């Protein structure tokens, strides 16, 4: 059996940009995404510090978070998002540094540009 038969390969969403999920789609950190999701489910978003909602952490906050545990860095070192670019899918690995694969989409005059970014280690190599 062809694996493609299990998927709707012709499916295309109407938009990646006009959905409620798009509001938090560009938060790079996996731990922060999960914390927000948990807070939303328990109706406790007002208790979440504002820095958790940011697409990117400041360098100081990222250093502090990394000092707590390396798994909190999953996704935090991914490249920043371009204008109108949104993450449409993510694979989070159960590794010590919570490695992340980010699939992104960006509207272009000819359609949609897609790219996949994989960070094999949450800490940049020097």
pLDDT digits (tens, 9 = 90+) for 1-37: 566 567 777 877 777 777 666 556 788 999 998 888 8
Burial class (CB in 10 A: 0-12, 13-18, 19+), 14: exposed
In this prediction the pTM is 0.73
pLDDT at 125: 42
**Assigned domain for 11 exists:** no
**Assigned domain for 62 exists:** yes
Total domains in the chain come to 1
Cβ atoms within 10 Å, residue 91: 11
**Assigned domain for 126 exists:** no
Q: pLDDT of 31-86, one tens digit each?
A: 998 888 888 889 888 888 888 888 889 999 989 988 999 888 889 989 988 888 98
**Assigned domain for 124 exists:** no
**Assigned domain for 63 exists:** yes
**Assigned domain for 34 exists:** yes
Question: Are 116 and 93 a contacting pair, CB within 8 Å?
Answer: no
pLDDT > 50? residue 122: no
Q: pLDDT of 88-108, one tens digit each?
A: 888 988 888 888 999 999 999
**Assigned domain for 101 exists:** yes
Q: Which domain holds residue 69?
A: 17-119
pLDDT > 70? residue 123: no
**Assigned domain for 67 exists:** yes
């Amino acid at each position: 059996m062809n694996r493609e038969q299990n998927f709707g390969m012709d499916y295309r969403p109407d938009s990646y940009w006009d959905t409620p999920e798009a509001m938090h789609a560009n938060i790079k950190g996996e731990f922060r995404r999960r914390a927000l999701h948990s807070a939303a489910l328990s109706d406790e978003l007002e208790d979440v510090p504002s820095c958790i909602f940011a697409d990117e952490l400041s360098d100081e906050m990222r250093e502090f978070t990394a000092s707590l545990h390396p798994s909190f860095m999953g996704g935090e070192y991914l490249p920043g998002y371009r204008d109108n670019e949104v993450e449409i899918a993510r694979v989070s690995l159960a590794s010590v540094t919570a490695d992340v694969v980010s699939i992104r989409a960006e509207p272009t005059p000819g359609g949609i540009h897609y790219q996949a970014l994989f960070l094999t280690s949450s800490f940049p190599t020097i």
